[in-house]
Structure 1
Amino acid sequence: MRIVHTYFAVARGMTMGVRAACFDDAGRIFLVRHSYVPGWHMPGGGLERNEVAEEALIKELREEGNLKIIGRPKLIHVYFNTGASRRDHVLFYRVDVVQTAPRGPDREIVECGFFALDNLPQGTTEATYRRLAELAGEQEPAHIW
């Protein structure tokens, strides 16, 4: 990750990404496990130059889970992501989705799937739990991812 952020430090003054809490019609959340970082995360990724955030969100959800957004994404909060670098921000959305086809593993996504909120997989990240608590109104949104 440090190499990627070093590259982006040269290519971009600031990095920004999108991430989403993706719910199916049964109320389950979609999570991914990457090959390059431990734990289960909500899907998302970085914005490219000249890319609109919502377009990046649509692209990332399609790539990471074969997910199609139903309705409009709801922007929940903007976070400073100090875990990635001192210049990274994350736009966090809540979306309803359908999966258009199963998503098999590849070099980036090792595993993915929908999970009941009361039965998240072992290794779900603390940030994921915090975002879910914020969505449920159990705590105020933080400013740090």
Structure 2
Amino acid sequence: MSGPERLDEPRRWWEKLLGRMLHAYFALTRSMTMGVRAACFDGEGRIFLVRHSYTPGWHMPGGGVERHETVEQALAKELREEGNLVISGRPQLFHVYFNNRTSKRDHVVFFRAQVEQTAPRRPDSEIVESGFFALDALPPGTTKATYRRLKELEGGEPPASYW
């Protein structure tokens, strides 16, 4: 099923269940959840986006920070896993957001990164599509949060407190 068609449908029951199960697990194992995301740009100025199997829309890549892991280590790991991406230089910390749509204790550390892709990312059970897109040609179904973060990065709006 393609991205735009998928967005018109309600979330499937198993998507909701999986999300709740993951957050229940994190609630039992952590007092606060923290994740990382990055606006990843290639040498042509295109941004890398992913479409997950378990939530609708196109997103910037990222994921959870595990115990004994720095946010930069988590970012490098997630970019490698979600896009076969390697960060060139050092990622720039942009802002930390409270993601109260996920839970009452979730925070997102957001970076801007210059990246190179070591190989195309093949679809699997987590990432069903991914790719680089020109900023003026983002795919249908790009999330509102992605658009907000891009506007903040370009200086069109100050960073919000909430994801």
Class of the TM-score when normalised by the shorter of the 2 chains: over 0.9
Task: Give me the TM-score of the superposition, normalised by structure 2.
Answer: 0.88
Structure index of larger Rg:
2
Aligned-pair CA distance for 1:3: 1.0
Aligned to 1:30: 48
Aligned-pair CA distance for 1:83: 1.2
Aligned residues: 145
Task: Give me the TM-score of the superposition, normalised by structure 1.
Answer: 0.99
Q: Identify the structure with the greater helix proportion.
A: 2
Measure, in 1, the Cα distance between the counterparts of 2:89 and 2:67. Answer: 26
Aligned to 1:44: 62
Measure, in 2, the Cα distance between the counterparts of 1:2 and 1:82. Answer: 14
Measure, in 2, the Cα distance between the counterparts of 1:3 and 1:133. Answer: 33
Aligned to 1:91: 109
Measure, in 2, the Cα distance between the counterparts of 1:105 and 1:79. Answer: 29
Q: Deviations over 1:18-44 (max 9, x none)?
A: 000000000000000000000000000
Q: Does 2:98 align with 1:80?
A: yes
The unaligned stretches of length 5 or more in structure 2 are 1-18
Aligned to 2:8: none
Measure, in 2, the Cα distance between the counterparts of 1:83 and 1:109. Answer: 21
Instruction: Tell me the percent identity.
Output: 71
Aligned to 2:82: 64
Measure, in 1, the Cα distance between the counterparts of 2:110 and 2:52. Answer: 18
Aligned-pair CA distance for 1:139: 0.4
The runs of at least 4 consecutive aligned structure 1 residues that moved more than 3 Å come to: none
Q: Match of 2:136, SS? A: coil
Amino acid across the alignment from 2:84 = N
The unaligned stretches of length 5 or more in structure 1 are none
